[in-house]
Structure 1
Amino acid sequence: MAISIILLFLPLIFFSSFSSSTIDRLSGSSSLSVEHADDVLTSPNGDFSAEFFPVGDNAYCFAIWFSEPYSEGNRTIVWMANRDQPVNGRKSELSLRKSGNAIITDAGRLTVWSTDTVSESPVFLYLHERGNLILQNSEGGVLWQSFDSPTDTLLPQQLLTKNMQLLSSRSQGNYSSGFYKLYFDDDNVLRLLYGGPEITVYWPDPELMSWEALRSTYNSSRIAFLDSLGYFSSSDNFTFMSAHYGERFQRILKLDFDSNIRLYSRKYRMDKWTVSWQAMSQPCRIYGTCGPNSICSYVPHFGRKCSCLPGFKIRDRTDWSLGCVQEFNLTCTRNETGFLKLSNVEFFGYDYGFFPNCAFGMCENLCLQICDCKGFQFKFIKHDHPSNIPYCYPKTQLLNGHHSPNFEGDMYLKVPKTLPIQETGLDCSSTVVKQLNRTYTKHQENASLKFVVRFAMLVGSVELGVIFIVLCFLIRTHRNSSAGTQNYHRITTGFREFTLSELKKATQGFSKEIGRGAGGVVYKGMLCDHRIEAVKRLNDA
């Protein structure tokens, strides 16, 4: 019997858990609340889900991710609405307005994100089977879609055009906007750009002309596209094919927080994603890997290793992208300044200029003459000549440093002659990143709400005071009433109050009648202090 009951309820449990998370559209003036776990939009094929996602302590962003396999701490996020302005975990919601606008509001009713759309006809919001969140009116017109405003991920069948960009996350645990972006430049070329304290393009190789990088600048359409089979093509003639080409694979093209763009593939609804293509195969050639004033080196079977330059210390041990800071004072006096040789170390970018056929002594003097020179790169390059030609590259900034035994050149760091050299370093694998704390911040206080809350607090305080006074009075009255039952109570007029038993005793059981009237009979009585009193017993008593 018990087994049959369990079997009877199993379908009900399964149906309840499944149906609670299958909202296919949002319409009318309805909303999705951050407080309701069942407020989830799901695509018709079940591949994608959209709801509020926790990004920190009491901080939530509305996001789209792959529904399966489901893991609370390991979701594959493909889009996020309010990535730079998370909302509170209470009373925040995504809602539709009668005006045709979809908005996200926080606990204080402040709008933190909006589609900025208007429609005279009713609108509804739904999640397409390809992972595209679409706001549509009743006539079938698309007012807004998430495919037109990507974050750091491009899905199959999603276009990247001249008005769009992919913007990396800040770190693996922080989904806010980072430093790197994929975009079409003014020459119609698809590029990767570092937008930190210093701005520079790092892919394709900035030292190459566009035609040398096999890119075309003549197609002004600026469109890039990843198809469902794993083939990527761009209007600048850049193409690549996934190592896992074909159907039955789910894919995402993602600009990772470490500045590299990668194509990830996995078998349909399987757990593990595999890198099937990446723009830069050498980890230390990825821009900004170890931050300024540092060196990246690659060790097989270990990964990347970041170390500060001699005379520098790490700025933040949990975030190598911030680099290292200088510990010495450098003057422009020639006789107080020297150079430290760093063999097989290259810093690319931020050259004061490049000087061919420049002897080592001339290059050294050139850097000494430039007060802002941080050091110089010196290497030999072989062209069509039988001997190598020396090149000099004075550096204004020390960024993108890396060590490679195959690099035929050296870096000469400008340092004080009195500097005690002590090289420091820390390991930095590709998975070690800073976990930035993200908490919900009240961005703007509501003045009316603030007044109402304060007024309610004041009224509440007054009510508590009144209740306290009344309670004290009642307690005192109760005590006085108890005393009256013991014949010690005197009313405010000064008369004495007697009980019926006391009156019976004083009149000897109402036995000595001394008078009678319309109201009742009068009896003679004697009190306990021997005073004679007349006691009238009323007829109604």
Structure 2
Amino acid sequence: MSHPRTHRAAMHWAESLLLLLFLLLIPFSHAWSFDYPSPIANLPSLWTNNNATIPYSATYPDGSKIRAILVRPNPAWYSPFFACGFICTTPCNAFLFAIFSLSIGDPSNPAFNTSSTPRIMWTANRSRLVKDNASLQFTKDGNLILRDFDGSLVWSTNTSDSHVVGMNLDETGNMVLFDIMGKTVWESFEHPTDTLLIGQSLRQGKRLTSDSLATNWTKGQFYLTVLGKGLYAFIESDPPQLYYQRRFNITGAIVHQKINISSDGAKNNTTYISFLKGSLSAFVSFNNTDIKLFDISLPWPSSAQFMSLENDGHLRVHRWDGIMWKPQADVLHVDLDDCAYPTVCGEYGICSEGQCSCPTQNFGDEDQFFHQLDNRQPDMGCSLAIPLSCDLIQYQQLLPLPNVTYFNLGKNWITDEYSCKDACLKACSCKAVFFEYHSVSNGSCYLMPKVLSLMNYKPEVDGYNLSAYIKVQRLPPPPRRKKLNPTAYHVGAPIIVAVICIIILIIRKIVKKKMEDEDPFKGLAGMPTRFSYKQLREATDNFSKKLGQGGFGPVYEGKLGNVKIAVKCLRDFGHGEEEFMAEVITIGSIHHINLVRLIGYCSDKFHRLLVYEHMSNGSLDKWIFRKNPSGSLSWATRYRIILDIAKGLAYLHEECRQKIAHLDIKPGNILLDDKFNAKISDFGLAKLIDRDESHVMTKIRGTRGYLAPEWLSSTITEKADIYSFGVVVLEIVSGRKNLDNNQPEASSNLINLLQEKIKVGQVLDILDNQSEDIQLHGEEMIEVIKLAVWCLQRECSKRPAMSQVVKVLEGAIDTETSAGYDTTGKDDIFDASSPLSPSPVSAR
């Protein structure tokens, strides 16, 4: 029997070759009798996202729009079509380039049927949506490129020079780029998003990632992946938490469809997911009367279907009922009941037989530690009546929850129950604790840093015995009153009771107000740990070891347990308040390998401190501006540092919910760990930019020598960081500062010096230390300098996006060649005829 992938490739080859021959014989505009776009495109082609250039468009009752570029008609008019093109949801100010299903009217009216909303099967750019007048270009060298309206690169197949001759949207919904022999060069099936179609594989290491909401196409928090030992589903957290696993000896899973003809002539359709290796031949099986998922049977009347990982963590199979797609089965349901999903009842919610409630303890109203976020929607979750505070850790207690467990208990260690609970009470980061009994004296202890949905269980049925405790906060007790003699009590009891009640109320209000006033981040989700000043004073040995001096105060080395930390103290308290707020809010809830991690903060009446991970090799400026050549960094290390900075900025600009402009990129704010991996730090001047904002207005901020020209107008985008990055790259390559008064007057400005050296073809003369690296890596240095010059364009629109910079450094794309390089605003231009003409940067 032939392999399904081989069969599919053969079908692609045959169909693509026939289509090519057919299109060579007749004009492109007459290739199809119905008024649809062709399912195939030749190169070069260009489509612009507007109704004028893409006439095959439709608007749906819910406000969503499509602009179809390729359409694959279905022989059965009542079955869905596949199309690719631009699609948006109301208010339709941002678009995806996607593959989606469509329905049409009857054969006499082949227009798109707007009564059935299109369903997205695959998308290229859900991390970065595009606007009207964005473009999709099928270039003459065989690359498919998506650019936004401003020309910035959003996505590419990276198939340049792969002998691609055409693009085909096939009958399974797979978009294929093929060569002259019909061989597949690139296909959307190999890059799944949240959906698997019939014939599509989920291969080892690949993921299905859910959308964040049903109406929001950005990446969600659930993902399904095939690893070496089976199928696994996770919810994103730090670290990711596993909520489903099915172990097999496999390398991937694939959805198939077969049609068997019985003796009476009836067709029996069977669709199944099978694994490419291993003993299990069918994981999910459908036929014309039922669906069998191990021992589950449900009606299944249709063979048109897909499988989708959805925003609640369920993996559902959908079928076409002739009008619309309808969910039919939950693939994971054989192993997971409704309560086993991480967000089924929201944070702190307890799920019992599909119903949600909050943790309670029947000691009276004063002990109601939780309340529902929305009484009408219990599945929204619960919140603590009094938020946990590390400064009041001595007034925290563990609330027992009988017969409650968690979807993933994670790592554990063996101890007794008392020590397990005590460890949680002493750890500020611990929000809940679970203890599984092995014997009378010991068991497994699990400390939970975050609490998602909980669930009830029955020990006698499930076969294990687990104690669960949730950490709750109490307020400090009121002052103790003195004991009165009986006579005084009888005389003044009513007055004393009234006074005590008033005092208690006043104390509670004062404590509550003190907590709110002293913690400006109270109530904000995802904030790092709050420390007391006493904790950090002890961690730094009374601030005895100074690491350096920041813009708003010194930085000290410390230790929390066995973990080294760096504590930044804001001495100029009033002036540094805005920077403190910006730093915590900006990076408190984001994590990336090339951003310095903010562990926590201290905020009280007199102190503002920030706690970071310790970076053993300090800041970059100490390494690249050294006078002693023997201590300088190798070219390989400097190249890796440049790439690390670019990846960190690309994450801030393009992958966060809001764009983050750092606005103070310089070597002093780039820190190096023990392996010289670079991480961006110091977000005190950062600005958040909404995705629908093109710029922000702000006062001048940053460091002289790294400020982009547009600061003169105070109209700033994330492109200001790209200019600063270009300056830093030149400094890393040259080993000298951009503005250096110790240099001769003609050489004090590095950018001006570079411009002069380019004119005479002596680019590498800008290097301070003429070392062996020039002989060994001179060409690579020149290529990186070209990239820096591209980033230093006076007009910010001509600078690349940081994702482009990363791809250039990784060798995936070339440096921009379409324009000259104007870094000064004067008449001096780095044009393509100069010795520094752009070309690809070597990958490392």
Instruction: Please name the residue that 2:318 is paired with.
Output: 264
- Residue identity opposite 1:223 in structure 2: G
Q: Distance in 2 between matches of 1:112 and 1:371?
A: 42
* 1:403 equivalenced with 2:465 (yes/no): no
* 1:30 equivalenced with 2:81 (yes/no): no
Instruction: Please name the residue that 1:423 is paired with.
Output: none
Q: Distance in 1 between matches of 2:301 and 2:457?
A: 42
Instruction: Please name the residue that 1:329 is paired with.
Output: 389
Q: Distance in 2 between matches of 1:197 and 1:73?
A: 39
| Distance change (3 Å), C-alpha of 1:33 and 1:85 | same
Instruction: Please name the residue that 1:82 is paired with.
Output: 125
Instruction: Please name the residue that 2:252 is paired with.
Output: 223
The answer as to whether partners of 2:168 and 2:175 remain within 8 angstroms in 1 is yes
Give SS of 1:40's match. Answer: strand
The answer as to whether partners of 1:150 and 1:166 remain within 8 angstroms in 2 is yes
- Of the candidates 40, 43, 53, which is equivalent to residue 69 of structure 2? 40
Q: Distance in 2 between matches of 1:183 and 1:175?
A: 19
User: 1:264-321: CA deviations, max 9, x gaps?
Assistant: 2334x442413224204422211244454x124246xxx5536478646789999988
- Of the candidates 110, 135, 149, which is equivalent to residue 191 of structure 2? 149
Give the greater-gyration-radius structure (CA). 1
Give SS of 1:262's match. Answer: strand
Instruction: Please name the residue that 1:241 is paired with.
Output: 285
- Of the candidates 184, 206, 225, which is equivalent to residue 164 of structure 1? 206
- Of the candidates 173, 192, 210, which is equivalent to residue 233 of structure 2? 192
| Distance change (3 Å), C-alpha of 1:401 and 1:23 | same
Instruction: Please name the residue that 1:374 is paired with.
Output: 431
| Distance change (3 Å), C-alpha of 1:183 and 1:198 | same
Q: Distance in 2 between matches of 1:305 and 1:18?
A: 56
Structure 1 residue 24, shift from structure 2 partner: 2.3
- Residue identity opposite 1:80 in structure 2: T
The answer as to whether partners of 2:97 and 2:125 remain within 8 angstroms in 1 is yes
- Of the candidates 99, 106, 111, which is equivalent to residue 64 of structure 1? 99
Correspondences of 1:128-139 after superposition (within 5 Å) = 128-139=170-181
- Residue identity opposite 1:153 in structure 2: T
Structure 1 residue 323, shift from structure 2 partner: 7.5
- Of the candidates 404, 417, 427, which is equivalent to residue 345 of structure 1? 404
Structure 1 residue 196, shift from structure 2 partner: 2.9
The answer as to whether partners of 1:88 and 1:440 remain within 8 angstroms in 2 is no
| Distance change (3 Å), C-alpha of 1:111 and 1:338 | closer
Structure 1 residue 263, shift from structure 2 partner: 2.0
Give SS of 1:227's match. Answer: strand
* 1:251 equivalenced with 2:283 (yes/no): no
Correspondences of 1:53-132 after superposition (within 5 Å) = 53-55=87-89, 57-68=92-103, 70-71=113-114, 74-89=117-132, 91-119=133-161, 123-132=165-174
| Distance change (3 Å), C-alpha of 1:347 and 1:111 | same
Q: Distance in 1 between matches of 2:426 and 2:411?
A: 12
- Residue identity opposite 1:240 in structure 2: V
Structure 1 residue 113, shift from structure 2 partner: 1.0
The answer as to whether partners of 1:288 and 1:400 remain within 8 angstroms in 2 is yes
After TM superposition, the score normalised by the length of structure 1 is: 0.62
The answer as to whether partners of 1:119 and 1:137 remain within 8 angstroms in 2 is no
The answer as to whether partners of 2:431 and 2:450 remain within 8 angstroms in 1 is yes
Q: Distance in 2 between matches of 1:151 and 1:388?
A: 48
* RMSD after superposition: 4.1
Q: Distance in 1 between matches of 2:390 and 2:400?
A: 17
Structure 1 residue 177, shift from structure 2 partner: 1.3
- Residue identity opposite 1:42 in structure 2: V
User: 1:433-487: CA deviations, max 9, x gaps?
Assistant: xxx99965658879769699xxxxxxxxxxxxxxxxxxxxxxxxxxxxxxxxxxx
Q: Distance in 1 between matches of 2:693 and 2:147?
A: 13
Structure 1 residue 32, shift from structure 2 partner: 2.7
- Residue identity opposite 2:248 in structure 1: S
| Distance change (3 Å), C-alpha of 1:323 and 1:105 | farther
* 1:283 equivalenced with 2:303 (yes/no): no
Give SS of 1:284's match. Answer: helix
| Distance change (3 Å), C-alpha of 1:394 and 1:129 | closer
The answer as to whether partners of 1:244 and 1:265 remain within 8 angstroms in 2 is no
- Residue identity opposite 2:433 in structure 1: F
Higher strand content, 1 or 2:
1
- Residue identity opposite 1:241 in structure 2: S
After TM superposition, the score normalised by the length of structure 2 is: 0.41
The answer as to whether partners of 1:374 and 1:398 remain within 8 angstroms in 2 is yes
Unmatched 5+ residue regions in structure 2? 1-29, 57-67, 76-80, 105-112, 258-269, 293-299, 361-367, 460-464, 478-656, 659-689, 695-716, 720-792, 799-818, 820-844
User: 1:130-154: CA deviations, max 9, x gaps?
Assistant: 0001112333232211011111101
Q: Distance in 2 between matches of 1:84 and 1:135?
A: 23
Q: Distance in 1 between matches of 2:467 and 2:380?
A: 23
- Of the candidates 49, 52, 57, which is equivalent to residue 86 of structure 2? 52
The answer as to whether partners of 2:350 and 2:359 remain within 8 angstroms in 1 is no
Give SS of 2:351's match. Answer: strand
Q: Distance in 1 between matches of 2:355 and 2:239?
A: 23
Give SS of 2:399's match. Answer: strand
* 1:412 equivalenced with 2:469 (yes/no): yes
The answer as to whether partners of 2:356 and 2:378 remain within 8 angstroms in 1 is no
Higher helix content, 1 or 2:
2
The percent of aligned pairs where both chains have the same amino acid is 21
The answer as to whether partners of 2:284 and 2:331 remain within 8 angstroms in 1 is no
Structure 1 residue 180, shift from structure 2 partner: 1.7
| Distance change (3 Å), C-alpha of 1:329 and 1:225 | same
**Number of matched pairs:** 395
Give SS of 1:129's match. Answer: coil
Give SS of 1:279's match. Answer: helix
Q: Distance in 1 between matches of 2:46 and 2:449?
A: 51
- Residue identity opposite 2:398 in structure 1: F
The answer as to whether partners of 2:210 and 2:223 remain within 8 angstroms in 1 is yes
User: 1:85-120: CA deviations, max 9, x gaps?
Assistant: 11112x212121111111111111112111111247
Q: Distance in 2 between matches of 1:25 and 1:319?
A: 49
Q: Distance in 1 between matches of 2:429 and 2:196?
A: 41
User: 1:380-439: CA deviations, max 9, x gaps?
Assistant: 67xxxxx9998563423243432326356552223345489xxxxxxxxxxxxxxx9996
Unmatched 5+ residue regions in structure 1? 1-14, 205-212, 382-386, 421-435, 453-541
Give SS of 2:339's match. Answer: helix
User: 1:60-106: CA deviations, max 9, x gaps?
Assistant: 001112222644773221111111111112x2121211111111111
- Residue identity opposite 1:279 in structure 2: L
The answer as to whether partners of 1:233 and 1:240 remain within 8 angstroms in 2 is yes
The answer as to whether partners of 1:43 and 1:127 remain within 8 angstroms in 2 is yes
Q: Distance in 1 between matches of 2:404 and 2:317?
A: 30
The answer as to whether partners of 1:59 and 1:439 remain within 8 angstroms in 2 is no
Give SS of 1:124's match. Answer: strand
User: 1:204-238: CA deviations, max 9, x gaps?
Assistant: 1xxxxxxxx5x334x5xx12111122211223556
